Structure 1
Amino acid sequence: MEKERTERLPHILVKGTATTGGYTRPKRKIDAPGSNIPQRNRQQHATRLISHLQQAKAREAAIIQEQRGFGLAVENGLHITFESESGFELIFESLNFRPSGIELCSVTQEGDKTTATVFVPEGKLEHFLKQVTTYRDHQPDPQAPDKTAKSRSQDLVESISAIKLTALKELWTDDSGLFPDDNSPITWEIWLRHSDKIDHEAFLREHAPKLGLTVGAEAIRFPDRTIVLAHGSREPLSRSITLLGSIAEVLRAKDTADFFTGMERTDQKAWIEEALKRVTPPAADAPSVCLLDTGLNEQHPLLRPVTDINDLHSYDRTNWGTDDRHGHGTAMAGLAVYGDLTNTLASPGPIELSHQLESVKITPNPGHHQEKKLYGAITRDGSHNPRRPG
């Protein structure tokens, strides 16, 4: 009894991985928002941004006319994109100005550059023109230079590198590698803005066929956003940004598990074989994950790279064997090795496995132990079987 109390299962405990040291307060500077903004020549910078805004303003009338011709009679406006300088922040919070209906739709980070997309209602580009001209014309008060050295809009204006009409790529908030390279149809996840003046979801559903888009029946609705799926190619979706004025951001619709579980066995086999071509097995000295479950079917194609028949154990090998006749242990093995298989199968990238598998069968099925058993003892005895270090 005393031996059992002091037993520490040395093959499970990982030793020598921690060090002890005294606490030292880190020395760091806490940067306030707006502290990482490039130095600008006030006149030159303002002139360039005003030029960008005027170029957008020159397109406004034609875009609004096109929207109205398409049937959008209210909530007309433009999507405008603001970019930061590489390596500097963008004060994007200041782009949102609800009193004028100006709405920050999305913010993305590509490398060391920040991009923000804003919906600007018809006639409201003047808001940004006024901010830039105020910045350009600001003169400190010689009587109180410390209080008036900066204009109210200075941090925002100086953080902006460029302003332009929004393209589809600027509304893309998903992994950049998932953005379609060609005009092949895909399923898009579209986040729509909310408005008290118009039901953007209903308008999209009504006019989607004209744009070459098929909108799914389901929707998720939040106070400020509605999410729908739409199938179509890149070109009509790009056009819809201009015509609808309702899109806040766009992602690629993700595959779900039922896409694979609902397949015929022959199709599942083809997907597995494709995934195995991208698998790099774990190193020979890689650690192992030990499953205490209903056993393991190690001949499953996705489990072969990480299992060895010598690593399959059982609490009652004579009567139960080591194989999985219930299915739960094998399913948990797949989860332990690959995580969510939906992403693994659907993504084209390499699959690098980091650990081996071991299995201890502690029950042939979840309802097997009808008689009272000391399950802690079964688990403890099962833990003695694995031979690999954890």
Structure 2
Amino acid sequence: MLQAIDALPDIPAAELPGVYLEVRSRIDERLKKGSLDASGLTLLRVAETPDPGGTEERATVFATAKGIEKLRKKVEQFRTEDTPDREKDGEFIPGRPKNADLVQSVAAITEAGLRALWRSPSGKFPAADVATVWEVWLEPQMTEGFVAAAPNYGVTVGADRLEFPEDIVVIVEADRNQLAQAVRRLGGVRALAAPTITADFFDGLPVAEQAQWVDELAGRTTYTDNPDPRVRTHSQ
């Protein structure tokens, strides 16, 4: 596991706010989630994935440089230190490697991609690198920075916002590579989803982009002949 941690980006050298991790459990093991949500680690999502041999848990975690350092230290302690021997109800209980519950539950740690942040059905994840509308869930204190800097990566952010106590939701348009770069470089993203688009989003777009949306919709719309000229039917 130390090799996997050392293979992650050097956060200070790359001038990143942190790194998104995908932590995978051993088959039919449960990740020690409390240890993945403390000391510079923020647990964003946990999902179960069926496997031919059982069930695998996958956790999405945002780690700061401090979080990576703490995680590495826990793995090193597992390799080199044991908890003290103890006695309970007259029974001798030998020590065991420190942080064993955490380390022994983990099968792999890798840098996460956009799919690890996706909370909509997997079939709705954008399939091609073309401009797509995304719902982006942001940490409130990071929202202004993300909105201001995202256009530098080709991400168009709509004016409409939906505010919750722990999240602010914005609608953006970008291809997968553009959004991945923005998420990686800016941080602050807690989740991605397929949007429920409102009229306010379109109102927030420049007039030229509104026209492009209308043209795109018109290109996907077909009309059927109807004997009554007062009635027009259409399908998409």
- Show the counterpart of 1:59: 10
Equivalent in 151, 169, 180 of residue 238 of structure 1:
180
- Show the counterpart of 2:109: 163
**After the TM superposition, which residues 1-390 of structure 1 pair with which residues of structure 2 at under 5 Å, given as runs?**
49-56=1-8, 59-64=10-15, 67=16, 76-97=17-38, 100-111=39-50, 112-139=55-82, 141=84, 144=87, 146-147=92-93, 149-151=95-97, 153-194=99-140, 199-254=141-196, 266=223, 269-271=234-236
Aligned equivalents of 2:164, 2:65: Cα separation in 1? 25
The unaligned stretches of length 5 or more in structure 2 are: 203-217, 224-231
1:88 CA drift (Å): 2.8
Amino acid at match of 2:30: E
User: Which stretches of structure 1, 4 residues or more, deviate above 6 A after TM superposition?
Assistant: none
Q: CA, structure 1 residues 139+167, in 2 after alignment: closer, same or farther (shift >3 Å)? A: same
The aligned length equals 204
1:146 CA drift (Å): 4.9
Q: Which has the larger radius of gyration?
A: 1
Aligned equivalents of 1:148, 1:223: Cα separation in 2? 46
**Same amino acid, percent of matched pairs:** 26
Aligned equivalents of 1:207, 1:102: Cα separation in 2? 24
1:181 CA drift (Å): 1.5
Aligned equivalents of 2:121, 2:166: Cα separation in 1? 23
The Cα RMSD (Å) is 3.0
User: What TM-score do the two structures reach when normalised by structure 2?
Assistant: 0.74
Q: CA, structure 1 residues 256+61, in 2 after alignment: closer, same or farther (shift >3 Å)? A: closer
Q: CA, structure 1 residues 141+153, in 2 after alignment: closer, same or farther (shift >3 Å)? A: closer
Amino acid at match of 1:102: L
Post-superposition CA distance 1:27-59 (Å, at most 9, x none): xxxxxxxxxxxxxxxxxxxxxx11111111x53
- Show the counterpart of 1:278: none
Greater strand content = 2
What SS does the corresponding residue of 2:71 show, helix, strand or coil?
helix
Contact 1:91–1:159 (Cα < 8 Å) also in 2:
yes
Aligned equivalents of 2:94, 2:163: Cα separation in 1? 45
Aligned equivalents of 1:202, 1:142: Cα separation in 2? 51
Contact 1:63–1:242 (Cα < 8 Å) also in 2:
no
Contact 1:81–1:163 (Cα < 8 Å) also in 2:
yes
1:156 CA drift (Å): 1.6
